[in-house]
């Protein structure tokens, strides 16, 4: 299949696989798609190691990275960024999180890792360190998932011959991205997992296509099989940006407890909530969200303060849920889109990629047959 995206990136299938797991990224790329690593899940040193590992697996095939550099955020003193941000978290919020863990009897995990540096990187002051790492590697694309990319990101990418992509949730976002010099627009509908807006993919994609001119547009949100991919191409997209579907892959690093919950979920079991990061993000709805929505509960903090507030708590919850702890299983959640209702089993990411491409081609051929029959 040949589209503007496959020509631009030099790949076989117009399928972008976005995931925090390096093994998923490598598997998608090796299956003919284009893997993109969620770089903001790592510290600079960790990112360097993960990109090096990916390169060893893909042996010269193209891949990319995705950053979270929001246009709206809580700022801190760049000289002591983590400390400055932590000082802005109210004691009442800390007490609420502790009381929630106590209520569900969540045991303290002995393997907690301090991710403050990672959370602090989700600001313009913290992002340059990740950018420095990314541009030391032979990436083919860099994407920003929260707002217009900083000017220095675009400039550095252009100088290095790296494609710049950005996720948009409405027409106004696309107009700002075009002005900023973005090469690829990702029209992400509200069905998507993670940070997303309120407009559906079916409506949003053609709106962005009409604005984009000669820039390729990728459809995102609600795409997990070849039929949905074919629909995206019919809307004018040059390919698809998929995230949630890889959560049902064998290579994804999610604990088995959350994968089991995904397999049991329906498409109506997700919610857009700011309680994980501070910005609305679609995730599996659980008792965690019920507790934050209850009367008397505090309002979530802005990004990245909310992320810093709850990160350690989620490590305790994940560890306990993996061990079968009843309270933790009630709270256990993760970012996922409405396609979670279509998950039936856990499959290799490469198989998912190849099946999606083959089913898309078959569906397009079937549609052509309908036209010929008329």
Q: What percent of the chain has pLDDT over 90?
A: 82
In Å, how far are 56, 116, 280 from 195, measured between CA atoms? 30, 20, 6
Give me the architecture of the 1-73+122-248+358-374 domain, per CATH.
Answer: Alpha-Beta Barrel (3.20)
The whole-number pLDDT of residue 352 equals 98
- Over the stretch 315-326, which tens digit does the pLDDT of each residue have? 999 999 999 999
Question: Domain locations in the chain?
Answer: 1-73+122-248+358-374, 91-113+254-343
Q: What angle do CA 257, 263, 265 make, to 5 degrees?
A: 100
Does the global pTM surpass 0.75? Answer: yes
- Over the stretch 219-276, which tens digit does the pLDDT of each residue have? 999 999 999 999 999 999 999 999 999 999 999 999 899 999 999 999 999 999 999 9
Asked if 331 and 107 touch (Cβ cutoff 8 Å), the reply is: no
- Over the stretch 196-222, which tens digit does the pLDDT of each residue have? 999 999 999 999 999 999 999 999 999
Those residues whose C-beta lies under 8 Å from the C-beta of residue 42, and which sit 6 or more positions away, are: 50, 118, 130
The whole-number pLDDT of residue 120 equals 57
Dihedral sign, CA of 66, 67, 69, 73? positive
């Amino acid at each position: 299949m040949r589209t503007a995206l496959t020509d631009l990136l030099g790949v076989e299938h117009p399928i972008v696989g976005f995931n925090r797991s390096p093994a998923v990224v490598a598997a998608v790329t090796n299956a003919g798609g284009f893997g993109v690593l969620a770089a903001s899940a790592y510290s600079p040193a960790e990112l360097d190691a993960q990109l090096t590992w990916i390169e060893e697996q893909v042996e010269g095939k193209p891949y990319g990275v995705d950053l979270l550099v929001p246009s709206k955020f809580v700022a801190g003193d760049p000289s002591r960024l983590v400390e400055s941000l932590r000082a802005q978290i109210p004691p009442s919020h800390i007490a609420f999180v502790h009381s929630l863990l106590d209520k569900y009897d969540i045991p303290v995990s002995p393997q907690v890792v301090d991710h403050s540096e990672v959370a602090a990187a989700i600001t313009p002051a913290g992002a340059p360190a990740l950018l420095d790492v990314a541009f030391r590697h032979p990436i083919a694309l860099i994407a920003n998932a929260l707002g217009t990319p900083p000017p220095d990101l675009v400039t550095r990418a252009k100088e290095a011959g790296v494609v710049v992509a950005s996720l948009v949730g409405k027409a106004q976002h696309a107009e700002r991205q075009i002005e900023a010099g973005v090469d690829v627009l990702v029209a992400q509908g509200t069905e998507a997992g993670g940070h997303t807006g309120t407009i559906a993919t079916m409506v949003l994609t053609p709106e962005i296509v009409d604005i984009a001119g000669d820039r390729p547009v990728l459809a995102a949100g609600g795409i997990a099989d070849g039929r949905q991919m074919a629909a995206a191409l019919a809307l004018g997209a040059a390919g698809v940006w998929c995230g949630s579907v890889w959560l049902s892959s064998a290579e994804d690093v999610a604990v088995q407890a959350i994968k089991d919950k995904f397999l049991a979920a329906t498409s109506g079991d997700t919610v857009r909530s700011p309680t994980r990061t501070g910005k609305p993000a679609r995730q599996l709805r659980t008792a965690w969200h019920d507790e934050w929505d209850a009367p008397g509960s505090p309002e979530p903090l802005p990004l990245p303060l909310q992320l810093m507030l709850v990160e350690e708590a989620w490590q305790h919850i994940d560890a306990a849920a993996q061990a079968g702890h009843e309270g933790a299983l009630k709270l256990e959640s993760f970012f996922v889109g409405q396609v979670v209702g279509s998950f039936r089993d856990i499959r290799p990411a490469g198989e998912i990629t190849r099946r999606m491409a083959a089913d898309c081609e078959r569906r397009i051929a079937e549609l052509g047959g309908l036209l010929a029959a008329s």
